[in-house]
A = this chain, B = another copy of it.
């Protein structure tokens, strides 16, 4: 048992993972929560950006690629939110306003965005339906960004 723990600890160290006991929190440090949510939003945004590019004609429409990006955007779109933990809204967070004091409003906007992201895979197989759904999903993202995202 001891050997196995040592091996796993070594692997975790090599993998660059925090080896401190995380106790029962999802994130050991506030910075980890911020980095996690920003990373998930980057992955999601990359794939949503490809769909938006196809929708506006900047990227040639390809049904298979659109469906793949839609699937990834929808899947990863459920992840960022657990990173919005208490006391994680000051720098280096890129937050406007006080999400902590408006969590119910934030959560409603988040859930609307998740619901619209979930509709992307069903819409991506056809350029017209993709355009419509990119508009609806982008609008749901924008509703939250307008209130809570620091623009720079």
A: which residues have CB within 8 A of B? Answer: 4-5, 7-9, 11-12, 14-19, 21-24, 26, 32, 35-36, 38-40, 42-43, 45-46, 48-50, 52-53, 55-60, 72, 75-76, 79, 131, 134-135, 138-139, 141-142, 145-146, 149, 151
Contact = CB atoms under 8 A, between A and B. Distances in A.
Contacts of A75: 75
A51 B36 CA distance: 16
For the complex of A and B, 10 pairs with smallest distance between CB atoms: A11-B138, A39-B39, A39-B42, A17-B49, A8-B56, A14-B142, A21-B58, A5-B56, A12-B52, A39-B43
How many protomers of this protein does the assembly include? 2
Given A15-B48, A49-B18, A146-B14, A138 B40 contact: no
Q: Which of A9, A19, A22, A43 has the most CB of B within 10 A?
A: A43
